[in-house]
Amino acid sequence: QSHHGRIPHTLTGCLTPRSMSILSATTRRSLLTFRHMSGTNARTMATIQEAVAKRVPEWRADIKDLRAKHGDKVLCEVTVDQAIGGMRGIKGMITETSLLDAEEGIRFRGYSIPECQKLLPCAPGGEEPLPEGLFWLLLTGEIPTEEEVKGLSAEFAKRAAIPAHAEEMICNFPKEMHPMTQFCSAVLALQTESSFAKAYMAGNVPKTEYWTYVMEDSLDLIAKLPAVAAMIYRNKFKEGKLIAADPSLDWGANYAHMCGYDDPAFVELMRLYLTIHTDHEGGNASAHATHLVGSTLSDPYLSFCGGMTALAGPLHGLANQEVLRWLIKFKEDLGDKEVTKDSIREACWATLNSGNVIPGFGHAVLRKTDPRYMCQREFALKHMPDDEMFKLVSTLYEVVPDVLNQTGKVKNPWPNVDAHSGVLLQYYGFTEAEYYTVLFGVSRAMGVLASLVVDRILGLPLERPKSLTTEWIRNNFEK
């Protein structure tokens, strides 16, 4: 950066997320902004299909070169503890859309969450990034222009219609059926629309073109999910009074509208929520399950459903619901006690000493506060600083890490994304915690389906790791 504060044009062409990581934060922000502005002016608006097609030869050449040069290199050693303990830390799969760093959190195609908030297009008058922009980034590796994001929003609106048989099925689900069960079932009902399944059964598509059909399915499915999810919400919690889509709205705003929420601040929260929950590299249960099922050449509908059944588990996507329930009970147990650091500390130790855990803290990979938590905290500080539940969450943020460190048993005592989202939704009247995982699933579609398209572009094979028996392990090491 020159002393005039301007960025030499020759620098912007050779920047990568990796090279920018060594620059100061101020310089990096300036470089990113300048490059984005330059690209916006110079680049002809493309459809997302055209933008991806342009990258295909490059990506295929790159992975071919990578295997030729480094195919026999060792990524990691695997211990018996890792094999038994959920394969934690084993480096054994490729996911191009995002990478999770233990110290700084998730990077989407090399960009941190704060960088994405700064660079990705927002809605007119809004401040939070549009989820469509992040989907473009995940799928193409490039920051989109405002016009490209508008075009993608319009593309989703054109594809959003739900077939009659699926709508009828959703409307006839029993009210007691869990929203995630309804969501997974509805996705399977949409599978009748799969372009990939039809093309594969016809038998006339070369492997090099699989990705085009997978991408068509992915765009169709993502476009339909807000209407599907809103229909489930209105049927279960709002007496079946459905709200028609508004095709003039962006993807996240339309979802909020169909659920019955048009408060501009809530719509901004929805955009933020849907953006930050999209992707968290490939090893988490929902992303891995989608990748695994997709590696069999099941179409995106079947693959995504596999991921969603994983997301429905209490140890994965149901965690946000569990955290909110815990917070409400925690506040009730405090009774008339004022929410202070001392009263919270005392209650936390009582929770731990009773054999229970404090949900919403810790992460399998992260070793610092989840940046997804931090951007939600910043939203709360701006829009709801005096809310009692936010004050509780904020005090927990100050107290719990020290309590957990004192136990000597926790590698990461810091809050994760689930520690905050429920409180934000509750503030705006979206109180049906049982539904929250569906929100998560709608967002996660963007990440796992973008990754599925890339899987087919790269020609990644059927996933088939080797399993062992405990007897084999004993025989091998106790000779």
Q: At what angle do helices 300-311 and 436-458 cross, to 10 degrees?
A: 140
Residue type, 473: I
109 φψ region: left (φ > 0), alpha (ψ -120 to 50), beta (else): left
Catalytic residue among 363, 370, 420, 455: 363
3-state helix, strand, coil in the chain (%, to 5): 60, 5, 35
What's the half-sphere exposure (Cβ side, CA atoms, 13 Å) at 173? 29
363 noted as active-site residue: yes
Question: Which residues are CB-contacts of 239 (< 8 A; sequence separation ≥ 6)?
Answer: none
What is the residue whose two structure tokens read 């997974």?
Answer: 184
316 noted as active-site residue: yes
Structural tokens at position 408: 């000597």
Q: What is the DSSP string of 17-63?
A: HHHHTTS-HHHHHHHHHHHHHHHHHHSPP--HHHHHHHHHHHHHHHH
Catalytic residue among 101, 178, 316, 383: 316
3 noted as active-site residue: no
Catalytic residue among 299, 418, 420, 455: 418
Question: Which residues are CB-contacts of 181 (< 8 A; sequence separation ≥ 6)?
Answer: 312
> What is the C-alpha separation between 116 and 134, in angstroms, rounded?
8
Give me the active site residues, please.
Answer: 316, 363, 418
